[in-house]
Amino acid sequence: MNTWQETVTPKAPLGLTFPDCAVTDLSHFGLIKVNGDDTRTFLQGQLTNDIREVSPELVQLSSYCSPKGRMLGSFLIFQRGDDLYMQLPMERLDATLKRLTMFVLRSQVKLENASEQLARVGLAGDCAAGLLPFAPSGDKASETRDDLTIIRLPGDRPRFELIAPVATMTGLWADISAKAEQSGPEFWALMDIRAGMPTVFEDTVEAFVPQMTNMQLIGGVSFTKGCYTGQEIVARMQYLGKLKRRMYRLHADVGERPAPGTELHSPTSASGQGAGRIVDAAPSPDGGYEVLAVLEISVADGGDIHLDSVDGPALKLLDLPYELPPIEE
């Protein structure tokens, strides 16, 4: 157990709580550090978003696709000093780092696992800004002072991520956790779900094209940046194809978490591949689970959606925080 884990481990196991003022250890996310003279040129040819727009003041959502345009990973990308960092679920870090490294070739780029170098903490609630030494305004805004980076994230309440070396974060954690209730990864997943932000896990690798997870609606895809791996497929869907599936937020009144990749079904589905799949799920304060799921648009419009089978538990559609544009006939 490292120093940071010793700092944040609660004396008793965390219960399932939904506090109004919540502090969360984000060690379940990993960090890939990217630096070198060709960093932006290299990433520009790999990721769906325009990496040139990332700055010390602005973070970015992005994804990494296979040549077939299927998502291999999803990221929050931020800058500290001259270095860029790609944050993703820890379970996807090794495979993503290995694959990206394969394409470095002669580029002046170094990629490394930086998960142990920087601690990550989430803070959410109306209390958040008042507990911080400084607070960026505006979603995806970032600011770094004295080795502490603070990012403001989208959500249904004020929400921030703090990034700093362990020595810096330890004292800040002690101050904040004395005033905010410690929550677990499930709470932070719920915040992402309510923000309509998708995450790619092991069980959903290559399951979705970015537009299926609404990445273009949350600023995660650039259609003007030029070529990148999978770009032809992503662009064709945007300009020439008809989007048949996209992501929705739903409530499942079930006792166990629906795992990412779990199939959804509907008696109105005309697809032999099922009506959809779970992207992520987290416990709801109202009971059951709130989920993000990629669904056939025609099935979502009908609302007859079930977990695991057509006879399984019914799911109820919930609102997303952004508008889903109409699909052209």
The contacts of residue 67 (CB under 8 Å, 6+ apart) are 229, 230, 233
Cβ burial, residue 285 (10 Å; 0-12/13-18/19+): exposed
Residues 106-131 have pLDDT tens digits of 889 999 999 999 999 999 999 999 99
pLDDT over 90 at 306, yes or no:
yes
Checking if the pLDDT of 329 tops 60, the result is no
Measured between alpha carbons, how far is 92 from 258 in angstroms, rounded to an integer? 19
Q: What is the rounded average pLDDT for all residues in the chain? A: 94
Q: For residue 1, what pLDDT band results from cuts at 50, 70 and 90?
A: very low
- Location of structure tokens 């803070």: 123
Task: Give the separation between CA 244 and CA 276, rounded to whole angstroms.
Answer: 11
Buried b (16+ CB within 10 A) or exposed e, 180-194: bbbbbbbbbbbbbbb
Q: Is the pLDDT of residue 328 over 70?
A: no
pLDDT at 10: 73
CA atoms within 13 A on the CB side of 288: 13
**Mean predicted confidence (pLDDT) in 99-104:** 95
Question: Is the pTM higher than 0.75?
Answer: yes
**pLDDT tens readout for residues 166-222:** 999 999 999 999 999 999 999 999 999 999 999 999 999 999 999 999 999 999 999
Domains of the chain: 16-194 (3.30.1360.120), 244-319 (2.40.30.110)
Q: Compute the distance between CA of residue 243 and CA of residue 246 in angstroms, rounded to an integer.
A: 7
Report pLDDT digits (tens) over 40-51.
999 999 999 999
Q: What is the pLDDT of residue 4?
A: 84
Tokens of 175: 């101050």
Q: Beta-carbon neighbour count of residue 179 at 10 Å?
A: 11
The model's pLDDT over 48-61, given as tens digits with 9 standing for 90+, comes to: 999 999 999 999 99
Residue-wise pLDDT tens digits, 236-280 = 998 887 889 999 999 999 999 999 999 999 999 988 778 999 999
pLDDT value at residue 271 = 82
Name 239's Cβ contacts closer than 8 Å, sequence gap at least 6: none
2 pLDDT more than 70 = no
DSSP of 205-232, one letter per residue? TTS--GGGGTGGGTT---SSS---TTHH
